[in-house]
Amino acid sequence: MIHLNGVHFSYEGREVLSGIDLDIASGEFVALIGPNGAGKSTFSKLLNGLNKPTQGTVTVAGLDTKKARTSALARKVGFLFQNPDRQLCRSTVRDELLFGLELCLTDKADIQARLDKTLADFHLDPALNPLTASRGERQRVALASLMALTPQLLILDEPTTGLDWRECMHTMELVTALNRQGATVFMVSHDMEVVRDFAQRVLVLNKGRLAADGTPHEVLRRTELLSDAALLPPQIMQLSLSLGANYDDIDTCEEMTESLIRRRLEK
Amino acid sequence: MKGMLQYVHGNTILHKVPPLLKLLIAIAICAACFSTRSLLVLLALIVLDVILGFIGNIGRQTLRTLCSLCKFSSIIFVLQIFFVTQGNALVTLPLGVRITDEGLRFSAMICMRLIGATLPLTVMLTLTRLPDLTRQLVKVLHVPYKYAFAFTTAIRFIPILARDMAAVIEAQTARGVELDGNFIKKLRLLLPLCVPLLVSSIRKIEAGAISAELRGFHLRGKKAA
Ligand SMILES: Nc1ncnc2c1ncn2[C@@H]1O[C@H](COP(=O)(O)OP(=O)(O)O)[C@@H](O)[C@H]1O
Ligand SMILES: [Mg+2]
């Protein structure tokens, strides 16, 4: 689905990404983590053609991003920006969704069906004005307008920042549902719990290179590597690591509770 | 577009000249541009602007600004040619459209005036710290602080707006708006995109006003009670 070969990227001579090779298969759920300013947003924009590599090649859904027009890629790739306001430009949710749908589709009946389904899935009021809605709602509208198109690849730049727990879970459930239907998900996140719970694969970006690539279980345990990238594992993993021996394989609170109870019973 | 009008730190003579004097020089160059009709003088003034840019150690940036101004004015140039019909026809197109020597001269003059008047202002503003300018406006010209502050804040908003516009264009391109097409099509597509830009600017202005109030802006200039 995604194929990066020796990719370098610079902004006006200042190199942000230096030498990245990466393959992501169709249907994977990948999280990208790293310190502020590491180039995570820059990296994500390489995947939908907004940024073109200064060196190397990026292939997404069979298209070379250097040759394909960004608008052609838009039909296959949905991109949720860090700041959803930039994406919203209509005064009702209904118009906003229609605007996105009509940009990429032509079949009227199909558009109407997708509109209705999305409004229902996202519990959105079609008459709501997204420009004056709350931050969580604006984010939901922006995501809805992308998901209505059922993209093959969904890129999310910090989708849960600024959302409360319920909104966060709701967003992640919708994303997971799309992922189960076969879409590839690429998510930038600062929330290690979200990464642990939803991603199948974690990439760590630090100093312009991929410092780690593996399952959350492996990567989030490498405390030294994470602290070098100004990151901390989820608290329960820190606890399990410091307890050592019989506990250091535990990722979640549920597993920890289970293990503690079992040990007590054994005694 | 990026970084336009943003203060560039430096240690050159132009950085040390008092802000008001700089503004005065810039306005003088602008005025000269609009009072002359000679293309040669206009060209000299533009060269002077570029030299000023190099003295202020922002030569490359000045050339980049000049480049984008040229692109913009070439559109005006083309439109203008068709509206001036006096003078000797050089080329006659169908439908009675004539391109005249006077038309060419006039269009060139308009474009060079535009460039010559914009460039000194951008160069000077890039070399001036806005708070310094505010201070001088208040101290030397006795402009009420409120207005001086509003003026400099407005200038500071230009680069922010430009950056926001770039971000909005990026976001909409990602959705499939085809902004990589021709100019007219681009303009038609860009207009609705001004909505998010407007919304984010108003939010920023509001936030700026509130934060100024919170820091006691309205107390300024009044006697402490
Ligand atoms: N449009 C741009 N022009 C120039 N530099 C940029 C631009 N966008 C980001 N940068 C710089 O690139 C680096 C990486 O930024 P970014 O990708 O936003 O990081 P992250 O998303 O990981 O916080 C930062 O140092 C930032 O200042
Ligand atoms: Mg970012």
On the question of pLDDT at B150 being above 50, the answer is yes
Pair (A157, A205) in one structural domain: yes
- A50-54 CB contacts, 8 Å cutoff, 24+ apart: A50/A79, A50/B170, A50/B173, A50/B174, A51/A9, A53/A7, A53/A8, A53/A9, A54/A8, A54/A9, A54/A10
Q: Which of A132-141, A171-180, B3-12, B137-146 has the lowest mean pLDDT?
A: B3-12
pLDDT score of B183:
67
pLDDT score of B224:
43
Q: What are the φ/ψ torsions at residue A108 (nearest 5 degrees)?
A: -55, -45
Query: Which pLDDT band holds residue B222 (cuts at 50, 70, 90)?
Result: low
Contacts for B22 with CB less than 8 Å, ≥ 6 apart: B14, B124, B127, B128
d(Cα A223, Cα A239) in Å, to the nearest integer?
12
Mean pLDDT of B28-56: 90
Collapsing DSSP to helix, strand or coil, A3 comes out as strand
Pair (A12, A28) in one structural domain: yes
In chain B, the percentage of residues whose pLDDT exceeds 90 is 8
Specify if A63 maps to a domain.
Answer: yes
Q: Do B199 and A74 touch (CB under 8 A)?
A: no
Q: Which of A154-168, A200-214, B179-193 has the lowest mean pLDDT?
A: B179-193
Q: How many residues does chain A have?
A: 267
Q: Produce one character per residue of A161-194: b if its CB has 16 or more CB atoms within 10 Å, e if not.
A: eebeeebbebbbebbeebbeeebbbbbbbebbbb
On the question of pLDDT at A202 being above 90, the answer is yes
Domain boundaries, chain B: 13-128, 135-224
Contact assessment for residue A167 and residue A135, using Cβ atoms and an 8 Å cutoff: no
Pair (A54, A156) in one structural domain: yes
Mean pLDDT of B163-181: 80
* CA-closest residue to ligand 1 atom 18: A41
- B36-41 CB contacts, 8 Å cutoff, 24+ apart: B37/B109, B39/B105, B39/B108, B39/B109, B39/B112
More reliable by pLDDT, A68 or B182: A68
Phi-psi region of A129 (alpha: psi -120 to 50; beta: other; left: phi over 0): beta
On the question of pLDDT at B5 being above 80, the answer is no
Contacts for A189 with CB less than 8 Å, ≥ 6 apart: A31, A32, A33, A156, A158, A159, A160, A195
Q: Which ligand is nearest to the CA of A82?
A: 2
Collapsing DSSP to helix, strand or coil, A17 comes out as strand
On the question of pLDDT at B2 being above 50, the answer is no
Pair (A51, A157) in one structural domain: yes
The Cα of B13 is separated from the nearest Cα of chain A by a number of Å equal to 27
On the question of pLDDT at B180 being above 80, the answer is no
Collapsing DSSP to helix, strand or coil, A207 comes out as coil
Specify if A185 maps to a domain.
Answer: yes
More reliable by pLDDT, B5 or A177: A177
Q: Produce one character per residue of B19-37: b if its CB has 16 or more CB atoms within 10 Å, e if not.
A: bbebbebbeebbebbeebe
Could you give the angle at the alpha carbon of B3 between the alpha carbons of B43 and A80, nearest 5°?
135
A80: nearest CA in chain B?
B171
Pairing of strands A184-188, B97-100: unpaired
Specify if A168 maps to a domain.
Answer: no
pLDDT in tens, B74-119: 888 887 777 777 777 777 777 767 778 888 888 888 899 989 888 9
On the question of pLDDT at A155 being above 90, the answer is yes
Specify if A131 maps to a domain.
Answer: yes
The Cα of B14 is separated from the nearest Cα of chain A by a number of Å equal to 26
pLDDT score of B145:
83
Our count of domains for chain A comes to: 2
Specify if A34 maps to a domain.
Answer: yes
Name the residue range of residue A207's domain.
1-76+151-163+181-216
Collapsing DSSP to helix, strand or coil, B222 comes out as coil
CA-to-CA dists, residue B6 to A76, B9, B118, B160, angstroms: 37, 10, 15, 9
> Tokens 């002359």 correspond to what residue?
B36
Contacts for B171 with CB less than 8 Å, ≥ 6 apart: A81, A86, A87, B196
CA-wise closest residue to B52 among B15, B20, B9: B15
Q: How many CA atoms lie within 13 A of B170 on its CB side?
A: 24
Mean pLDDT of B181-198: 72
Q: How many residues does chain B have?
A: 225
Pair (A94, A58) in one structural domain: no
Mean pLDDT of A251-263: 90
CATH number (domain holding residue A22) = 3.40.50.300
* CA-closest residue to ligand 1 atom 3: A11
Specify if A228 maps to a domain.
Answer: no
Collapsing DSSP to helix, strand or coil, A1 comes out as coil
Contact assessment for residue A162 and residue A80, using Cβ atoms and an 8 Å cutoff: no
Task: Examine the predicted complex and report whether its ipTM is higher than 0.85.
Answer: no
Specify if A189 maps to a domain.
Answer: yes
Question: Could you tell me if the CB of A39 is within 6 A of ligand 1?
Answer: yes
Pair (A126, A116) in one structural domain: yes
Pair (A144, A156) in one structural domain: no
Pair (A44, A95) in one structural domain: no
The Cα of A90 is separated from the nearest Cα of chain B by a number of Å equal to 8
Q: Do A87 and B175 touch (CB under 8 A)?
A: yes
Pair (A114, A18) in one structural domain: no
> Tokens 């040390």 correspond to what residue?
B16
On the question of pLDDT at A142 being above 60, the answer is yes
Specify if A33 maps to a domain.
Answer: yes
Pair (A119, A208) in one structural domain: no
More reliable by pLDDT, A197 or B208: A197
d(Cα B107, Cα B101) in Å, to the nearest integer?
10
pLDDT score of B1:
41
Q: Is residue B162 exposed (0-12), middle (13-18) or buried (19+ Cβ within 10 Å)?
A: middle
pLDDT in tens, A80-117: 998 888 888 888 999 999 988 988 888 889 999 999 99
pLDDT score of B4:
64
* CA-closest residue to ligand 1 atom 10: A11
pLDDT score of B206:
86
Contact assessment for residue B72 and residue B1, using Cβ atoms and an 8 Å cutoff: no
Kindly report the three-state secondary structure assignment for every residue of B108-167. HHHHHHHHHHHHHHHHHHHCCCHHHHHHHHHHCCCCCHHHHHHHHHHHHHHHHHHHHHHH
On the question of pLDDT at B223 being above 60, the answer is no
pLDDT in tens, A6-35: 999 999 889 999 999 999 999 999 999 999
Pair (A126, A29) in one structural domain: no
In this structure, what DSSP letter does residue B211 have?
A: H
Question: Could you tell me if the CB of A41 is within 6 A of ligand 1?
Answer: yes
Query: Which pLDDT band holds residue B47 (cuts at 50, 70, 90)?
Result: very high
Pair (A38, A155) in one structural domain: yes
Query: Which pLDDT band holds residue B220 (cuts at 50, 70, 90)?
Result: low
> Tokens 């430096």 correspond to what residue?
B10
pLDDT in tens, A51-69: 999 999 999 999 999 988 8
Residues linked to residue A154 through DSSP beta bridges, in sequence order: A78, A185
